[in-house]
Structures are given as structure tokens and as C-alpha cells.
Structure 1
Amino acid sequence: MTRIAVVFHSGYGHTQRVAQSVAEGANATLVAIDAEGNLPEGGWDTLNSADAIVFGSPTYMGMASWQFKKFADASSKQWFSQGWKDKLFAGFTNSATMNGDKLSTLHYLFTLAMQHGGIWVGTGMMPANTKASQRNDINYVGSFAGAMATSPSDSSADECLPGDLETAKLFGKRIAEVAARLKG
């Protein structure tokens, strides 16, 4: 059995909803980074023992949140010992606008994974890019590098769009399938 951990920061609850959907699809353990940028008790142990780590952060001002960056900087201990080398990694983000420079955040998450010597998995999903496409279609935002979600700034976390949450769930399922193949 593969062990998958989703480590994420969520400022307003939207990214947490996406994290929950990824975790549901992957049968993963959630590790929430708190408002001070710290992991909960046992969080580092969960990540260290995972076969796959999924990074998640909202996109604020074109980049991951400072809380996520604090966690990333703290992971230098694992980097120095190469403790996460050859683990599977993936990532997701959420912002208030359709674009919101989310790709910048995914590149940051990818770079962090590569610095750890990891193996990255993308969405593996075709985008919803026809005239008939609807906002709640799978991968409507059209990302291949990782899952992207959009939550308008005046929406509550309960208003996350079903299509984005389903995209995240399917992304989690893909991560779990790839992790099982790599472990097998």
C-alpha cells in the first residue's frame, strides 16, 4: 500500500477544500500548514514516511503563500540528507482569478520537488477547451503541470466550484495510481 501525504496551506479555506478533494482521490493524509507556517505535531514524520508528497498553496501576488514558503525553507533538512530523493511529488494551487499567475506557483512547487530529487506527476488531463465547454467541466482552467482552481475573492470556501473539486479528486486518483506503479 502506498502512503500519500498532501501538505498545504490555506488562507481562507478554498485551498483546503481543493486539498481535501486531492486527498479523497488519492486516499491521502492531510498535513495542514498553520497560519504561522508550521506543521502539526507528527507532520514531518508523515511526510518523511510518505511514498508521495503533494504540495498545495494558494497563489498570492503571483506566488505561493509565505506560510508555504516557510515550510519549504524548513524542508532544507530533508534536502541536505536527501531524505525525499526519488519520492513522487505533485502540486496544486488556487487563486481568485482565472489566471492569477497560478503557473508561477506550480513552477515554484515543481522546483522545490526537483531540488529534493523527486519525480513529478502532472494532471494527465485534457483541458476543457471547446466552445461547448462549461465552467464546471474537468480541467476547465486547463493545467497540465498540476491542478488549478479558481475561487472568486468574494466567495466562501463552501462555494468552491464542483468542476474544480472534481478535477482535484481525479488528480489525486492519478497520483495514487502512479505512486502504486512506482512502488510495485
Structure 2
Amino acid sequence: MSKKIIVVFHSGYGHTKRMAEAVANGAGASLLPIDAEGNLPEGGWEQLAAADAIIMGSPTYMGSVSWQFKRFADASSKAWFTQNWKDKIAAGFTNSASMNGDKLSTLHYLFTLAMQHSMIWVGTGMLPSNKKSATRNDINYVASSSGAMASTPSDASVDEMLPGDLETARLFGQRVAEVAAKVRG
């Protein structure tokens, strides 16, 4: 039985949105964008309450999530107070302009938010592409176990995002859906 999965994300320039779409495609999930003011659309909190899995995404800005995502996270304290997200599946993804770009710090933030909500975190389940023969378009070339990562140069358009990063995101979404089906029965 398929589970209800929501991808909640903020995207400043469109790159994280494209990554969110790839994650949602793999997971069979619905997209729930956080707007430029850090708010969810009407009915967004209800969608999250009804979800079996919540996949969170934010660009990495200055070593962490965007302020818009942080505003959403702070507002989630109402769900925390009632433990509304307890035992839901959680996962996260991010994109930044640099190969490192401190993306792991962003994923740690998302992981900590999930742990605050008593959620169950799912990593990528992918080996890194770390052999001499690896190319930038290989799956998990950025080499993350904690969540999906993409690296898009600051002067690259959304259409120039690398197919390997987007396929990594899709496969990550697929893994979250598979784990949700197992754990949430």
C-alpha cells in the first residue's frame, strides 16, 4: 500500500525546487512549497499532519537552511507540542553552489528538527561514487549518506542542474517511499 508522502521545501532560485520535484517523483509524493515569506499554503499544516512521511528540503545558505525554512521549522513547534509528527518517516535534501558548501550542516539541521519531532530518519542508502572512473554525473557523486545533496554552480540555471544529482534525488525519494511502506505498514 502506498503511503502519503509530502515534500516540504523552500527554494530561493529554483534549484531546490527542481531537486524537490525529482525527490517527489521518486517517492510518489506531493510537493508543499514554503513561500518567500516562510509560510505554507493554506491547508499545508493539515497535509503534514496527515502524512506518513515528510521529506524536508532547503538550499544551503551560509552553512544552514534558508531563513524561510527556519521560519517554517519554528512554526512547527505547534506540531511538536502535541507530538503530531511522532513516528512519521523523515528525510532531507539540500543544494548549494559549492561542492562542499557546508551542505552536511544543513542536513544535520533537518535531522535535528526531525529528532525534535520524534520522527524516524532515513538516509540515502547509496554508496558514493568515489572511484577514479567516477564522473560528475554519477549517482551520489557528492557522496552523502545522511540525505540527498546536489551541487549547482552559482551561475548555472535550473536547466543546467546535473542529471546525476537529479537522479540521486529521485532514487532518494524512492528509498524514502520504500522505507515508509515497510515501517508505516
Counterpart residue number, 1:142: 143
For 1:16-95, list aligned pairs within 5 A: 16-95=17-96
Instruction: Return 5+ residue gaps in structure 1 as ranges.
Output: none
- In structure 1, what is the Cα distance between the partners aligned to 2:82 and 2:38? 22
Counterpart residue number, 2:171: 170
SS in 2 for 1:64: coil
Q: Post-superposition shift, 1:117?
A: 0.2
- In structure 2, what is the Cα distance between the partners aligned to 1:157 and 1:6? 19
CA RMSD of aligned residues (A): 0.5
SS in 1 for 2:60: strand
- In structure 1, what is the Cα distance between the partners aligned to 2:97 and 2:47? 30
CA distances 1:115-155 after superposition (whole Å, capped 9, x unpaired): 00000000000000000000000000000000000110001
The residue identity in structure 1 corresponding to 2:108 is H
- In structure 2, what is the Cα distance between the partners aligned to 1:74 and 1:4? 20
SS in 1 for 2:71: helix
- In structure 2, what is the Cα distance between the partners aligned to 1:45 and 1:150? 32
Instruction: Return 5+ residue gaps in structure 2 as ranges.
Output: none
- In structure 2, what is the Cα distance between the partners aligned to 1:116 and 1:51? 13
- In structure 1, what is the Cα distance between the partners aligned to 2:82 and 2:62? 32
Deviation above 2 Å: which 4+ runs of structure 1?
none
Q: Post-superposition shift, 1:16?
A: 0.3
- In structure 2, what is the Cα distance between the partners aligned to 1:151 and 1:29? 24
Counterpart residue number, 1:14: 15
TM-score under structure 2 normalisation?
A: 0.99
The residue identity in structure 1 corresponding to 2:27 is A
Q: Percent identical across equivalent pairs?
A: 73
Q: Does 1:96 align with 2:97?
A: yes
Q: Does 1:121 align with 2:122?
A: yes
Matched residues, number: 184
The residue identity in structure 1 corresponding to 2:23 is V
- In structure 1, what is the Cα distance between the partners aligned to 2:12 and 2:154? 12
Q: Does 1:155 align with 2:152?
A: no
- In structure 1, what is the Cα distance between the partners aligned to 2:160 and 2:41? 27
